[in-house]
Each structure stands twice: as structure tokens, then as C-alpha cells.
Amino acid sequence: MGEVKEPLVEARLPTKYGTFRIIAFPGDSADKENLALVMGKVEGEILIRIHSECFTGDVLHSMRCDCGEQLDLAMKKISKEGKGIIIYLRQEGRGIGLVNKLKAYNLQDDGMDTVEANIALGFSAEMRRYGGAVEILENLGVKEIKLMTNNPAKVEDLEKAGFEVKQIGHSAEPNEENKDYLRTKASKMNHKLEIRD
């Protein structure tokens, strides 16, 4: 395991799903702090969601993706369990940034899928990294993780970092706007998803 980064600030955050502690940690740049939302005692096996920033989905409730619904679902599951952590990583648009993500939207509207659009813009299909999540989990003293994800890359990265990980499927209900996007995640990114017509 690596160097443990100290948190920048911590505050109480009441939400419609219950009260969390919100903790800011240094990110890759000064204006891109990573966040942890913590509910309950951090001990034993902990329910975790590693969520990458999605302004359009998380804030504007875009139907092009399932990001905002996945974030809400994670908060509901943690509230029901009474303890857990959401790690919010500031890596918008699979790591390509908001403006490039909007450019990718235009390419998708012209017929490309999300992977083809990223490549057409000069990026790889997946630019996200999970080192920031590892640093936060180490700081919080987490060892055993119940990870809410459909993405095997997250599981692999955490296991390589020395965590015990149990994967828990985490899917929102598809809609007509995001079905093709979800199919691409399953077929080209190996996400564990079943999309029915």
C-alpha cells in the first residue's frame, strides 16, 4: 500500500438518505479534490461505492448515462445498511473532462458508441484511474470491501492494492436514451450488465 494522504477538511452532511461525514482529500490538482461520504463506523466489512464525477448525470440528471441513478442507489443502500462509504473521484467523462465528454456526445449522436467517440477524440477508451480511491481507503483504515460496481477493473485495482474485495452488482434501470451506452459498457468494457430489449 502507498503513502497515506491526509484529509483537507471534514464536515457533517445531512442528505435525504441520512447524515454522512463528507471528507475532502487532495486530488490530482488543487481544484479537483476527491471526496469521501462516510456513514456509520468504519469497521469490519464495509459497503463501498467508487463513483467518478459525472456533472451531466449526477447534477443535471442526464438520461444518456446511469451515473446519477447509480450514485443515488449507492446512498440508499448505505443508508439501509447503516454504514458505508462513497468515494467521489474528480475524473469527469471517463477521465477526458467535461468539454471533451460533450464533444463525445455529438459523435455519439452521429452514430459512434462511447468507446469509438473517445478514440476519435484522441483518447483511450478508459482514462480513469483508482489510485485516489486507494489512498482514501487507506486513510480511513478500510481492509475488507463490499464493492458496489459492475466494473471488474475497479475490483482488480483494489485487489492489487491489497484489499479484500467482494463485488456486489450495482445497476440502475436502463432507459431508451442509455440502453446502447450500457450495451457498449458490457460488450467493450467487460462490465457485468444484462440489458434487455
pLDDT in tens, 59-77: 999 999 888 999 999 999 9
Statement: the pTM of the whole predicted model exceeds 0.95: no
Confidence of residue 95 (pLDDT cuts 50, 70, 90): confident
pLDDT, position 192: 67
* CB of 140 closer than 8 Å to CB of 41: no
CB atoms within 10 A of CB 19: 10
Confidence of residue 185 (pLDDT cuts 50, 70, 90): low
The torsion angles phi and psi of 25, rounded to 5 degrees, stand at -125, 155
Mean pLDDT of 8-18: 97
Weakest mean pLDDT among 39-48, 74-83, 106-115, 164-173: 164-173
Question: Across the chain, what does the average pLDDT equal?
Answer: 88
Confidence of residue 186 (pLDDT cuts 50, 70, 90): low
pLDDT, position 39: 98
Q: Is the pLDDT of residue 152 over 80?
A: yes
Helix axes 131-140, 152-160, angle to 10 degrees: 60
pLDDT, position 171: 78
Confidence of residue 153 (pLDDT cuts 50, 70, 90): confident
d(CA 194, CA 77): 21
Confidence of residue 141 (pLDDT cuts 50, 70, 90): very high
Q: Is the pLDDT of residue 195 over 60?
A: no
Confidence of residue 103 (pLDDT cuts 50, 70, 90): very high
Q: Tell me which residue of 131, 163, 132 sits closest to 147, measured CA to CA.
A: 163
Mean pLDDT of 43-66: 94
d(CA 140, CA 160): 18
Q: What three-state secondary structure class fits 164?
A: strand
